[in-house]
Structure 1
């Protein structure tokens, strides 16, 4: 019950976003603009400020990054094993495979902050930011034969990657933003989580899932149950403890990200099927995240 109460405020914002999108604020342009604002301005500001100002021990972060990469690769491999269950074309499967390993950074940052404060935000920000390029490489490498787009160009202009690397560089160089700039970044970051969660809710979409239900169930099980189990084992094997271990498991248990839908649509894939899986993983994530947070104590 305590774990569920911890998640309640954040998932209430997601539900509020879904409600607003269908009632009071139903203009597509409004939510498209909000998503761009959060993705290109607010969230990069939060990541940069958190990473530039917190004390980071590289010796402890490297095992965490290794664990995060292991989790991503495991999710990719486990998702691929379910292909015979899908009953889908190659492009549709490639599109939906993303939902087995992509992660919703907005939800991760919100929960990490409640678990471990500023250190939790910075650590989850660093882990998520460093894993974004690898998640994109996995997704684009499978979708590339069916669409177009330069992988390295996409990575080079990804605002989360840029903000993560810039924040880490400033931190390791011992540089801190000037007080006025830090205040601006802090205010932008304060808005990032709330507006990001509202945008997640507004992006929830339902329709015909297509394919076989067993295939969709497999991908959801990989994302919400198997990946956290892998993270738990990897974390212990790598000697992680305390906040690092908690956040690795939380990272693995996060629902799928809306970026999977964006990429599928951009590369001519199965957008509706991906949208259904993202929505299902987000709603089911209330229960699964509660279980994992309870197990973490």
Structure 2
């Protein structure tokens, strides 16, 4: 437990620092908007591209991780679809709740796994990101469009413009091409990538909106429990049934124990979802995960 605490407390201190800085209006409101866009469109895509362009895509773990991820997403997704028809949720509400259960905070995941498992764990984590990011974003867009007369172009546009998906695909294609980063390009991308995580964690803290939590506590508790407790339990069962190695099991479980992505708020706004509820879920899950991650890691590490 001691090494787990030592690995993750700096991460949550950065998140709390971001929250405090935003409340104190430091450096300014305009800074946080620019920082989020810079990280989302340039710094974090640079990290994904540089890592995936040199990742061992011939890793024998990749096919079984893909199967495990699809199984977990299928169980969670089908459960949500059943609940939608039982509770008669509109697409604007369903899409938000689905994002709360299926999406994950990539910044937090990379930071925690890098602290615990260093280069070996980070390499495997990036393989999972390359699988999860396109699939989860597609499912999220589909959830908001369910039951609406939406063209294929309108459905695919948010996915085709997603910088995380594009950088993952670009990194994979570059890797498979056999090309190499030359003339200091690898160093340039590394400098951008090294800036991404601390800025991303500060931005996560700055986006927390505690005032949104009031009045929606039951929904927040149920959705957060599904994401932070039930999802990792289902993942652990799937990993055990597939007899995955210990490190693969741990990292896979950890990904499904992460709070939902802050960028889920942006997609909710773009797709006409209940963005206030999405902001509440992001805030509540991020705070709740400080305890739930400790519990999950204590059980599987």
Show the counterpart of 1:62.
63
CA displacement 1:120-166 (0-9 Å, x = unmatched)? 22321221232122212222112125697723222222211122122
Cα offset, 1:71, TM superposition: 2.4
- Is structure 2 residue 255 aligned with structure 1 residue 251? yes
Give the root-mean-square deviation of aligned CA atoms.
2.4
- Residue 253 of structure 1: SS of its match in structure 2? coil
Cα offset, 1:106, TM superposition: 0.5
Show the counterpart of 1:21.
22
Partners of 1:101 and 1:225 lie apart in 2 by 13
Partners of 1:154 and 1:246 lie apart in 2 by 31
Mark the CA change 1:170 to 1:222 in structure 2 (over 3 Å): closer, same or farther: same
CA displacement 1:12-32 (0-9 Å, x = unmatched)? 111111111110426332211
Does the CA-based 8 Å contact 1:100-1:256 persist in structure 2?
yes
Q: Please give the TM-score of this superposition, normalised by the length of structure 2.
A: 0.89
Show the counterpart of 2:165.
161
- Residue 286 of structure 1: SS of its match in structure 2? helix
- Residue 53 of structure 2: SS of its match in structure 1? helix
Show the counterpart of 1:109.
110
1:1-297 to 2 correspondences below 5 Å: 1-2=1-2, 3-25=4-26, 27-83=28-84, 90-144=91-145, 145=147, 150-178=154-182, 180-209=184-213, 213-297=217-301
Mark the CA change 1:82 to 1:221 in structure 2 (over 3 Å): closer, same or farther: farther
Q: Please give the TM-score of this superposition, normalised by the length of structure 1.
A: 0.90
Partners of 2:297 and 2:271 lie apart in 1 by 36
Does the CA-based 8 Å contact 2:91-2:144 persist in structure 1?
no
CA displacement 1:141-194 (0-9 Å, x = unmatched)? 121256977232222222111221222223333332115001011111111110
Does the CA-based 8 Å contact 2:46-2:193 persist in structure 1?
yes
Cα offset, 1:211, TM superposition: 7.2
Cα offset, 1:289, TM superposition: 0.8
Mark the CA change 1:91 to 1:25 in structure 2 (over 3 Å): closer, same or farther: same
- Residue 211 of structure 2: SS of its match in structure 1? coil
Query: Which consecutive residues of structure 2, in runs of 5 or more, have no partner in the other structure?
Result: none
CA displacement 1:242-267 (0-9 Å, x = unmatched)? 43222111111010111221111112
Partners of 1:102 and 1:109 lie apart in 2 by 14
Partners of 2:129 and 2:106 lie apart in 1 by 6
